[in-house]
Chains A and B, each alone.
Chain A
Amino acid sequence: MAVDATRSAGGLRAPALRINVGVLILGAAILLLGYLTLVPLGMLLLGSVSAGASALDFEFTLRNFQRVLTDQASIELLGNSVLYGAGAALLAFTIGTAIAWVVERSDIPARHIWYGLALVPLIIPGIIHTIAWLFLLSPEIGWINAPLKTLFGFSLSIYSLPGMIWVEGLHSAPLAFVLMSAAFRMTDPSLEEAAATSRSDPWSTLRRVTLPLLLPTIASVVLILFVRALEGFEVPAIIGIPGRIYVYTSRVYLSLHQSPPNFGLAAAYATVLLVISVGGLLLHRRATRRTERYATVTGKAYRPRRQRLGRFRFVAMAALGLYGLLAVVLPFVVLIYSSLVRVYSVPSFDFFNELTLENYAYILGDELTVRSIVNSLVLGVSAATLVVALTAVIAWVNVRTRIRGRGLLDFLAFVPITIPGIVMGIALIWVYFTIPIRIYGTLWILLIAYVTRYLPYGIRGTTAGLVQIHQELEEAASAAGAHWWATFRRVTVPLLRPALVGAWIYIFIISLRELSSGILLYSSQSVVVAVRIFDMRDSGQYTAIAALSVMMIVSLVILVALLQRVGGRTVREA
């Protein structure tokens, strides 16, 4: 067995050394991943059933779970969470799929413009999107509501479950678009062509042929969107709490922000959220496991046929334009307007008298905000670099060796996908209540949270990249006398570069937007941008937030454009 393992490992000269390096890497990686994933989860469970302040003075109690599961509000909490998650997932799926179909499968003109427009909201951090919609749909002063109230005497309150679903669904639609457009692109069109030959109209073809073919993908995408909505924190905190609509994430947060804070109760709520999240992802795996039954992509060359929209092309363009207006233009315009006044008010001609750049000057001169930007960049670069480095090695062990136990490594690296950010936050609090390492409130604890949370993204990217590279190149290096490290560094890594760069950029971008895991772990020294925005909202500094948001959106768009230009095809593919 040992000899087999070393043969497959490849790239090492001495057989005895091969075993040692492979096993050593596996052991170290398992220990590290265990510390990053299993220790926090273990502490979380311990904390949820402990009456003590840490695992060191553990005293068993079921009081927290009793309250979480039997409290009068618990049914309402579960109901709200499921309705919110399902509603947002379905809305995002409907919008994303409709755009994906039009862009991928119809003859709509200027396809690339619509494609780019659909992706832009991905760049906008969730907290900024949510605050922009507060400006638009506040019951009395929202841009949309103020005229509705004046003209028709009613308004659409954002502080409601439909309001929460709308904001989250709209923000998640680009994710559904990305996943569904890939699916539309990959599906063999012959069945649709057969339907068209049978004089089926585009709508019937979509409903009766295309969507049923994509059933496993649809189930998988909806589940991902559902779990993502459930673990989101921005909408439940900013819209849900003022509207008295509580879901699990806001309940974890409120348990810690009551007086006095209840860490055990927060851990119990987090555990329930974790169980739902794990359940959702297990269902997702089940849905995607037997996809071969639905396989329509074969070895033969094909090109999806585009449906002719005819006169509906203008309807489709208007619908896409409306989406662009709601998801990109209106939020951005309302932020620009709000950033130019001292105190927010409904737009009027007074605006021209109140016009000021004070908010921009405030943001640029505010030490805490500048510090939060620097911290976010440092964390983004560090987390992306660490995750990519770590997962490249793990992927190598998984793909290139036959060492027993490597499956555990893959499992440990994937586990964090089930851990919502706020759950990671409370879990790490329990870890450092117990372990006497004083990093709470520093960037180190945030880095640990980020690296753990983003491991799954890194492992999927690097594994997919490595699988595509044939082993013979590494074997050639080994035959030429290269050691394992030299082969890995000079052959494997350069070949893997597109996948590594892609994973790095993705993790860097999502790090800059991260709020939910940081909100429970930061101090004034380690504050990050999204947390800073959240704090400023608490102080009522909406106009300053608007200025920061405008600067952030412009910077992120420029950054992504620059990366595309510099990275060329590699980055675009990523």
Chain B
Amino acid sequence: MKRLTVFTACFGLLAAACGGATAPTAAASPTVSAATPAAAASRETADEAMARLYALAKAEGRVAIYSSMNNDDGKKVFGAFEAKFPGLKVDHTRASGEDLITKIVTEKKAGQDLFDVVESNLFEVAFIIDQKYTQPYTVASVADFPDQVKGKDGAYIGVRMNNDLPGINTQKMPAGVTIKTWRDLCNPALSGKIAVEQGDVVVYSALRKILGDAEAQSVLKCIAANKPSLRTGHTDMANLLAAGEFAATLSSNGHRLAQLKNEDKKPVDWARTDPIITDIQPMALSNKPPHANTAKLLMEFLASPLGQAAIQSTGRVPASSKTAPKYPDLNNFAKAFYISADLRADQDKDTEFWRTTLGIK
């Protein structure tokens, strides 16, 4: 009998542990409220919308966001949400844009609705929107954001931006080499000293628009001739840059470089390119969110001045025109080139060229 009790307790524990992931049972009811017309919400102020949604969200208790924001920054931003709305918990699943696509597509194909909000690079979020895995939602503070970060009819809204800048380790840079433009990375003195994030096709797509097809192809080819180390994860690459593993990167997230330089006092800087490739990080609401009200509340919060301040506190660049970045020297030296959904038209062609040129098989 005692053994039976132990055995039952063991599998009870397993069942309890699995229970957390069987959220879809709760999906049915919130989905109804998920259909609340966006227009109704848009007439409210951000504070009113949040007060209304908080009252509804208390019954849900948590929200699952799939986001590319790293865990350290996520703790600050989502921690601010949890502090503002006691009783609500944010489950942050952190992964790169490509990994988030895989995760969401696999879950949806397997009949699971596990995420409420997705937040990542524009190309990846746009792909998820194309699959009809999201639904439109317009936040109350939408007017605070520039047009370049907003999708049509509330399909998405970008609440933060990544400035994609060539990163520099000031101690590892060979003597006499300076990086001001992307072509400067072709310097043979940098052979074996550069790193490239292998999912950064978007940077090449942007360079085609900025420099023209021929020059962009030429630049990528000569960078490839310097035999760059191929990395996955921008934070990982920036940390290794700071540690001295490379002298430069083709493209790092500006805010991480600024954190390493200003907060960790590492020998890191960035190239002042003109223009600044600005990769918006849109968020979109799931088509079947297990916690619809909390999901909308989180989106409202992130777009509100409070949420933007939380994003600013991490060193990331808030997308709202009303909130200045913590490190002004990340975007005060040139105009921004916003990554737009139009660039996706040539994504397959660009991906093919990118992979072939860099030897990603």
Contact = CB atoms under 8 A, between A and B. Distances in A.
Interface of A: 53-54, 73, 76-77, 138-141, 159, 241-242, 244, 246, 256-261, 263, 342-346, 366, 368, 374-375, 378-379, 381-382, 385, 429, 432-433, 436, 438, 440-444, 447, 520, 523-526, 535-542
A438 B114 CA distance: 11
B236 A537 contact: yes
Contacts of A537: 233, 236
Contacts of B361: 73, 76-77, 244, 246
Contact of A526 (B11, B21, B97, B103): B21
Contacts of A429: 106, 110
Interface of B: 7, 10-11, 13-14, 17-18, 20-24, 64, 70-72, 91-99, 101-103, 105-107, 109-112, 114, 123-124, 127, 172, 192, 199, 229-240, 242-246, 260, 264, 266, 351, 359-361
Contact of B239 (A73, A444, A540): A540
Contact of A244 (B99, B351, B359): B359
Given A261-B101, A535-B94, A523 B14 contact: no
A542 B239 contact: yes
A53 B110 CA distance: 10
B107 A523 contact: yes
Contacts of A244: 230, 359-361
A263 B22 CA distance: 24
Given A139-B245, A260-B105, A441-B114, A525 B232 contact: no
Q: In this complex, which of B14, B95, B244 has the most chain A Cβ atoms within 10 angstroms of its Cβ? A: B14
Q: In this complex, which of A345, A379, A523, A537 has the most chain B Cβ atoms within 10 angstroms of its Cβ? A: A523
Nearest to A266: B102
Contacts of A385: 7, 10
Contacts of B172: 140
B14 A138 contact: no
Q: In this complex, which of A242, A244, A259, A379 has the most chain B Cβ atoms within 10 angstroms of its Cβ? A: A259
A538 B232 contact: yes
B243 A346 contact: yes
B101 A242 contact: no
Given A140-B245, A343-B264, A538-B232, A259 B21 contact: no
Contacts of A535: 94-95
20 contacts: A138-B245, A139-B192, A242-B231, A259-B124, A259-B127, A261-B105, A261-B106, A368-B71, A432-B110, A441-B107, A442-B21, A443-B21, A520-B106, A523-B21, A523-B107, A539-B94, A539-B236, A540-B70, A540-B238, A542-B239
Contact of B14 (A436, A443, A541): A443
A540 B232 CA distance: 9
Contact of A539 (B109, B233, B243): B233
Given A540-B238, A541-B71, A140 B246 contact: yes
B123 A539 contact: no
A343 B91 contact: no
Nearest to B260: A343
B106 A444 contact: no
Contacts of A141: 240, 243-245
Nearest to A241: B232
A541 B256 CA distance: 13
Contacts of A346: 243-244
Contacts of B17: 374-375, 378, 443, 526
Nearest to B266: A343
Contacts of B64: 524
B235 to A, nearest CB: 4
Nearest to B14: A382
Nearest to B259: A343
Contact of B230 (A242, A433, A539, A540): A242
A337 B244 CA distance: 17
Nearest to A541: B71
Contacts of B7: 385
B38 to A, nearest CB: 27
Please list the 3 inter-chain residue pairs (A to B) with the smallest Cβ-Cβ separation, ordered nearest first. A540-B236, A440-B110, A525-B21
B299 to A, nearest CB: 19
Given A53-B109, A440-B110, A538-B236, A382 B10 contact: yes
A525 B24 contact: no
Contacts of B14: 378-379, 382, 443, 447
A259 B239 contact: no
Contacts of A382: 10-11, 14
B234 to A, nearest CB: 8
Given A441-B114, A525-B21, 10 more contacts: A244-B360, A259-B127, A343-B242, A346-B243, A440-B106, A442-B18, A443-B17, A443-B21, A523-B103, A538-B233
A520 B103 CA distance: 9
Given A244-B360, A260-B101, A261-B101, A343 B243 contact: yes
Nearest to B229: A242
A257 B102 contact: yes
A433 B243 contact: no
Nearest to A74: B361
Contacts of A77: 361
Nearest to A382: B14
B13 A378 contact: yes
A368 B244 CA distance: 30
A429 B91 CA distance: 23
Given A257-B99, A440-B106, A343 B360 contact: no
B245 A524 contact: no
A164 to B, nearest CB: 15
Nearest to A542: B239
Q: In this complex, which of A138, A241, A261 has the most chain B Cβ atoms within 10 angstroms of its Cβ? A: A261
A139 B192 CA distance: 10
A523 B111 CA distance: 14
